[in-house]
Every structure is written in C-alpha cells, then in structure tokens.
C-alpha cells in the first residue's frame, strides 16, 4: 500500500520508536512516531509490531513467570543490533507452543537464545513486554490513530473495523495493506467475536435517567459476560476478553441450539443462581470457567443461567448500527425465555420500583440504556450507564505487604492503582487489607508471588495484572499519593479475573467521582 518498507526490519527500530513515544510530551508527537514506524513495515510484520507497541506479543500470554525471566537477567547483551522483528516473532511463537514435560527447561533455553542476541536496549524492552509493564491496551488508542494516519484511512472507520474484527492487529493489517476498501470488507460474522460494548457509571438512578431521553432499564447482574454465536447446530461462546469458553458452558450451548434462529449473535451474562434464584457470588460463577476436566460435575453442582441483553446479528444481518429498541425487539423474538428483565421508557415511579426489585432479588442494581443507541465498543458517554447500590472502582494491584500476627506468611496489605492513560502508567490510590478472607489471602499470595518483580523490605512489587474491585465510602484529598486523592474506608469486594489491567478505572474516573472533573466517561 505504501511504496517503501524495510525488507526485514531490525527489532531495534521498534524499541527506539517505543522509547521515543514514551518520552514524547504530547499525543500528537506519539502518533507521529508510531506512524513513521508503521510506514516502514513489511506486510508480514504489521501484526507483530502493532501488538508489541500496544504492550504484548501477538501470541498473547506466553506462560512465563518471574522465575523464568529472572534466569535471563544479567545475560551479556549483544554489542550490535542484529535481531529482526521476524526473529522475535518466531521466538515468541516457539515459546507459546512449549508444553508438557521439560517445558521449563525448553522455555529457559529459548529465552536465553533470544536475550543473548539482543542489545541492552532490546533486552530491556523484551523484559518489559514479557512482564506486562508496557501496560497492555493502554496505548491502543494512540496506536490506532497512528495506523489510520499511516494508511490514510478514517480513524473512525478503523475503530469500527477493530470492533467487528475483535482484534486490533487484524484491523491494522487490513488498513495498512488494503486501505479503506479492506476495512470495509471486515464485517460482523458469526464465529468471529465482536468487541463488547462497555458501560459508564451514574451516581444514582435519577442522574442516569436525566442523561438519557428514552431509556430501557435492566437488572445489573454480577455474572460473567458472554457473547454467544450460533450457525446452525454449531455454537461457540466467548468471554468478555473474547476467549473461547465453549467447553466450560455446555448447558448454554444446548440452550442456544434450541433457539429458532439459524444464524445468531447474542450478548449477555451467565450467572450461578441459588435455589431461591438469588445470584451466587461472582467467584462462585467463575469456578465454571477455565476447568474442563470436571465440567460435567460442575454443571450438575453449579448450573449457569443465561441472561441475554442484546442481539447483534440475526439471520444474516448485522444489527450493530440499529438502535437498541430494534435489537431488543429481535432479542424478544428469538430468545424471549433468556432475555434479561427489562422495562422500557419507565416513569419515575416505575423506574425506582424496578430498581428496588433488582436489589430485592440480590442483584447489584440496574443498567440504564439509551433506546436510540447503536452498539459500539468502548466507553460511549451516557449510552449505557451502570447504577450500583454502592460505589466501587476496578483497580490494579501494584504491590502488597507481608502480613503480621494472624496474617503472617500471607501477602496482605494491597497497594492499589488507577490507570493513567496519558503517560501509560498507574497512579497509586492508597492501600487496603480489609475485606480479605483467609481463602482470598492464600489465593492472592500465590498469584502475587507469581508476578513478583522486586521486593523492598516487606513490600513485594508485582507486575500490574491482577484487577480488584474495591468498594469505598468516599474519595478524599491526599498529599501522600501522586494523584492527590485516596479512597476512604476502601475494602476489597472481589478479584476480577474477567478483566485485564487495561480495563481498570482511570485516574480521570476517580477525579470525576470526586467532583473534580465532569464529562469523563468511565466503566466501573
């Protein structure tokens, strides 16, 4: 699509660009650096580089822990840069494929081979990518703007292609190799997961209804987000992060096969209910995922109930651009038995009665959605708003302190961070050891030690990967923390295994809740 590119790009060009972006003072300069890099890429390098500068290998998680990466720390770096982008990608693919007996030794050998070929600058970049310290996802907006500039395409059209492809690297490859025509060819297809639309938050129900002219209210469920695809008898179920979880939910597959539509994509949540039909805790529902060996026993002991709240595709037609009112009509037509409880255009009294009913049944609150809104990825103002009974934030764990007394031997006091999208980092919001059960303490100690980066006295600093939902009473000024704010009476509600660090609340969300700023979108 562009006239000149390096026949085989040296990896150091990617590293130098990433460093230039990190030190660039403004968004436009960052975009310019990335755009210059992308213009020089060969077609088969695009997905690799776009993934790396966004913060992770295109292969995803490579199964490397602190121990494996510690073994290559201190290796003598190469004097001159010789590694190519293709070599790094091949090595990451080899690492991703390692499994079975002797896998630790094989990973160590592959890592050593890679790091011995890398210069000091390249080793540092590789280490940060593999540790997750480039804040995967946080740079995606800048990267996509740069792809659009390099390809000469509309940024809005590129973002839409990302939504439908479910993969930013695939959309970037299409844009850079085929321009807008290639982007237009990316469409909603059954069995190709679509990026989920996200919600903002409202302080209370009246505030939410004031922001939406014609609203639908739904129960706000505390379950696992799923996207269900059906093509004839074939059914696949994807998680919020677009992972295939079909094997974990056989009852949802059976239920979906019985629906009348031949081609269908539904958006919704699955949740484990008690005999009283009250929702069971989120962690209980999540026991059903990631375990396939005993899925039959789990299905019997812990059945899941589907609540579908959107219909994205039916009988060959995409509904993404249709208003929610049309999508609701289609959902009620093809799957009325599994549709989430909902009321359309409620009066003030009806809205509050509906919200009380949701709380009485044990749910978190309600969702308020604009009936005129299309389905779109990301935070879209007041189109979808969560109204919860209590205020919570999704934060990332930056570090933890070894406990004492009854908690001796466990990592207890958590250092909590909010995402700062302006400089690709996290802002510490305070600490908490409250709300942690013995089971949670044991689990988080194991998981945090697996992500250990360095220890400073009793403080264990970790890769910012674990997301925790924190309830709090209020937000206060604080000169102790860099963001100038801290959470009063913060307590852990649960860990969010369905979210990544890129999904956490931003410091702007916290400021908005504190009344410092207005107009910031958030996704709590």
* Cα 438 from Cα 506, distance rounded (Å): 29
- Check 220, 388, 431, 499 and give the catalytic one: 220
* Cα 181 from Cα 154, distance rounded (Å): 11
Encoded tokens for 379: 């935070």
Neighbours of 236 (CB within 10 A): 19
Active site residue 220: yes
Cβ atoms of 8 and 42 within 8 Å: the answer is yes
Distant-in-sequence, close-in-space partners of 120: CB < 8 Å, separation ≥ 6: 77
In order, the DSSP letters of 307-359 are EEEEEEEETTEE-TTS-HHHHHHHHHHH-GGGBPPEEES--HHHHHHHHHHHH
* Cα 143 from Cα 121, distance rounded (Å): 21
CA proximity to 311, closest of 370, 374, 404: 374
Look at phi and psi of residue 81 and say left if phi exceeds 0, alpha if psi is from -120 to 50, else beta: beta
**Sequence-separated contacts (24+) of 442-448 with Cβ below 8 Å:** 442/410, 443/495, 444/397, 444/400, 444/411, 444/414, 444/495, 445/409, 445/410, 445/411, 448/397, 448/400, 448/411
Active site residues per annotation:
220
């Amino acid at each position: 699509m562009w006239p000149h590119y390096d026949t085989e790009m040296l990896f150091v060009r990617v590293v130098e660009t990433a460093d230039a972006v990190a030190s660039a003072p403004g968004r436009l300069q960052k975009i310019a650096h990335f755009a210059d890099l992308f213009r020089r890429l060969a077609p088969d390098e695009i997905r690799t580089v776009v993934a790396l500068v966004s913060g992770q290998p295109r292969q995803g998680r490579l199964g490397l822990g602190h121990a494996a990466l510690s073994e290559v720390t201190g290796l003598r770096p190469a004097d001159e840069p010789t590694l190519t982008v293709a070599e790094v990608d091949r090595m990451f693919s080899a690492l991703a494929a390692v499994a079975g007996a002797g896998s630790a030794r094989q990973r160590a050998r592959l890592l050593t081979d890679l790091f011995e070929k890398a210069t000091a600058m390249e080793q540092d970049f590789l280490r940060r990518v593999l540790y997750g310290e480039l804040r995967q996802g946080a740079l995606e907006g800048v990267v996509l703007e740069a792809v659009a500039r390099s390809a000469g395409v509309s940024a809005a059209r590129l973002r839409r292609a990302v939504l439908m492809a479910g993969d930013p690297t695939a959309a970037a490859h299409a844009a850079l190799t085929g321009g807008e025509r290639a982007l237009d060819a990316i469409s909603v297809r059954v069995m190709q997961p679509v990026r989920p639309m996200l919600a903002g938050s409202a302080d209370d129900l009246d505030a939410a209804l004031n922001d939406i002219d014609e609203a639908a209210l739904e129960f706000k469920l505390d379950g696992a987000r799923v996207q269900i695809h059906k093509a004839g008898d074939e059914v696949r179920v994807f998680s919020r992060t677009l992972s295939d979880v079909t094997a974990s939910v056989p009852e949802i597959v059976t239920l979906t096969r019985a629906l009348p539509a031949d081609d269908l994509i539904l958006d919704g949540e699955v949740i484990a209910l008690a005999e009283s039909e009250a929702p069971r805790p989120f962690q209980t529902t999540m026991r059903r995922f990631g375990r396939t060996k005993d899925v039959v026993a789990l299905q019997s002991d812990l059945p899941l109930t589907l609540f579908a709240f959107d219909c994205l595709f039916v009988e060959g037609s995409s509904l993404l651009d249709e208003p929610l009112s049309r999508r609701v009509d289609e959902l009620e037509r093809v799957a009325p038995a599994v549709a989430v409880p909902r009321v359309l255009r409620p009066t003030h009294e009806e809205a509050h009665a509906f919200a009380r009913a949701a709380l009485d049944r044990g749910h978190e609150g309600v969702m308020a959605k604009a009936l005129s809104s299309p389905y779109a990825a990301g935070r879209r103002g007041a189109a979808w708003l969560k109204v919860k009974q209590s205020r919570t934030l999704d934060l990332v764990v930056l570090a933890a302190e070894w406990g004492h007394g009854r908690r001796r031997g466990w990592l207890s006091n958590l250092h909590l961070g909010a995402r700062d999208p302006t400089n690709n980092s996290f802002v510490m919001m305070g600490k908490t050891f409250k709300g942690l059960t013995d089971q949670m303490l044991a689990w988080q100690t194991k998981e945090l030690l697996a992500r250990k980066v360095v220890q400073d006295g009793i403080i264990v600093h970790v890769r910012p990967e674990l997301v925790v939902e924190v309830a709090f009473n209020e937000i206060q000024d604080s000169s102790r923390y860099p963001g100038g704010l801290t959470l009063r009476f913060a307590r852990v509600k649960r860990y969010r295994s369905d979210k990544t660090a890129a999904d956490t609340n931003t410091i702007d969300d916290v400021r908005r809740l504190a009344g410092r700023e207005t107009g910031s979108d958030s996704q709590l």
